[in-house]
Amino acid sequence: MNEKKGLVVVLSGFSGAGKGTIMKHLMSTYPGAYHLSISATTRPMRTGERDGREYFFKTREEFDRMIEEGAFLEYATFNGNSYGTPREYVSKLTAEGKDVILEIEVQGALQVRNIFPDALLLFVTPPSAAELKKRLVARGTETDEVISQRLSISVGESELMDKYDYLVVNDRLEDAVRHVHAIIQSEHAATRRNAELINDIHKQLEEFRKEQI
Amino acid sequence: MNEKKGLVVVLSGFSGAGKGTIMKHLMSTYPGAYHLSISATTRPMRTGERDGREYFFKTREEFDRMIEEGAFLEYATFNGNSYGTPREYVSKLTAEGKDVILEIEVQGALQVRNIFPDALLLFVTPPSAAELKKRLVARGTETDEVISQRLSISVGESELMDKYDYLVVNDRLEDAVRHVHAIIQSEHAATRRNAELINDIHKQLEEFRKEQI
């Protein structure tokens, strides 16, 4: 609200909790309000993808050099492909006053918090674990093994939920989307993010008082 | 959002910042969402007032006894009349899951925080000190002395602004009202207020995993 600098917002959540859908609707419901971080990846570009839109496509050598240079806020490897959030891209956007949203998993989220202690961490969850299980199973396409594996990951994630600032309980989609928006907007008004405004008001009031005396 | 217990919300702000107007519009815009704390006072009842509606009217003896019993969350004396926030009334409402709003000045706000560390403290301010001065002067009915005195109080208040959780910049009234609502609703989703839900989800996920193995 009064903050010139944009926020780094991290959105994580259980698989099946609806992160992606929330993100999509957040972007379309509040056009221009938020910017998505674009990750770098070593995975090959697919048909229809464009460099700098879906991902920044990098060779393994380029990616490893970026790691060495500390160019990533966080990175991780899945199935042999590496994915990372370029620090410079995020810093550039926030410096322009833009709120940047990073959709990343819990370990990455904690890495981001180490680099940006002021990052806002949101965790998306269904209203209950029973509902989470139902959603995982309802996808229909997964084997018991995959579901079991996902449950294991979810257990680990649930142990880190309290490292996040806010829960987003995804019961009704439109409520969850509105809620994410409200949390981010409110966060701009946190006093710790407005030290400059507070200081300005204080100094100006002091001056007015002197004029009156 | 998932919190059974209501929040204790403290609203303070500069004289002339529009606290009262925000409160009035908050109550009418979101009917039933919030409850106002009713203060006890030793000041005599005026025509049209009713005990337990505007205030709980108390004799000096009753009021002093309540102080001794620790019955007040905070109290203060202005022009010989004492005003206090009854702790029991607030606790009863929050136990029922109701968010209770206390409109009190800064010293009282800090007393409340001592008793309820989880209280949510909001500070209403005009967008700038210049605007604050303009609003103080624009009331028209005050002498230079009164304005000067208010400025002095405001200086003191500005020194305590950073003890609050959020600033509410009152530029456009309807924005400020919506903003207060968003802050309170978001606050319910803070992870530190949802330890029980987090723990439930974690335990249930553990059980599901065991069932699968």
A89-116 pLDDT, tens per residue?
999 999 999 999 999 999 999 999 999 9
User: Do residue A191 and residue B166 have CB atoms under 8 angstroms apart?
Assistant: yes
pLDDT over 90 percentage in chain A: 79
Residue A3, pLDDT > 60, answer no
> What is the CA angle A97-B166-A178, rounded to 5?
65
Enumerate the residues of chain B whose CB falls inside 8 A of the CB of residue A204: 128-130
Residue identified by tokens 């019961």 is: A171
Residue identified by tokens 């005009």 is: B126
State the average pLDDT over residues A4-18: 91
Q: Which helix (H) or strand (E) holds B6?
A: none
Which residues face A99 on adjacent strands?
A34
The residue type at A94: T
User: Do residue A189 and residue B206 have CB atoms under 8 angstroms apart?
Assistant: no
Closest CA to B85 of B118, B61, B56, B110: B56
Tell me the C-alpha distance between B14 and B28, whole Å. 22
Taking a C-beta distance cutoff of 8 angstroms, is the pair B129, A204 a contact?
yes
> What is the CA angle B197-A10-A158, rounded to 5?
30
Neighbours of B129 (CB within 10 A): 24
Instruction: Using CA coordinates, name the residue in chain B closest to A167.
Output: B189
Residue A42, pLDDT > 70, answer yes
Tell me the C-alpha distance between A182 and A194, whole Å. 18
Q: What pLDDT sits at residue B1?
A: 42
The residue type at A190: A
User: Do residue B191 and residue A164 have CB atoms under 8 angstroms apart?
Assistant: yes
Select from B205, B212, B213 the residue whose CB has the most chain A CBs within 10 Å, as the one to mutate to test that interface: B205
The residue type at A121: L
User: Do residue B129 and residue A200 have CB atoms under 8 angstroms apart?
Assistant: yes
Q: How far is A176 from chain B (nearest CA, A)?
A: 11
Q: What is the pLDDT along chain B (213 residues), one digit of tens a residue?
A: 444 789 999 999 998 889 999 999 999 999 999 999 999 999 999 999 999 999 999 999 999 999 999 999 999 998 899 999 999 999 999 999 999 999 999 999 999 999 999 999 999 999 988 888 888 777 666 788 888 888 889 999 999 999 999 999 999 999 999 999 999 999 999 999 999 999 999 999 999 888 876
Residue A26, pLDDT > 70, answer yes
Enumerate the residues of chain B whose CB falls inside 8 A of the CB of residue A182: 182, 185-186
Query: What does the pLDDT look like over A110-166, one tens digit per residue?
Result: 999 999 999 999 999 999 888 888 887 776 667 888 888 888 899 999 999 999 999
Residue identified by tokens 């269904």 is: A126
CA distances from A201 to A70, A122, A211, B85 (A): 39, 31, 15, 29
Q: Which helix (H) or strand (E) holds B31?
A: none
The residue type at A34: Y
**Beta-carbon contacts of residue A207 (< 8 Å; ≥ 6 apart):** none
ipTM: 0.87
Strands, E assignment, A26-98: 34-36, 39-41, 55-57, 72-78, 81-86
More confident call, A80 vs B146: A80
Where helices occur in A101-194 by DSSP H, the ranges are 106-115, 129-138, 144-158, 173-187
Residue identified by tokens 């409850």 is: B35
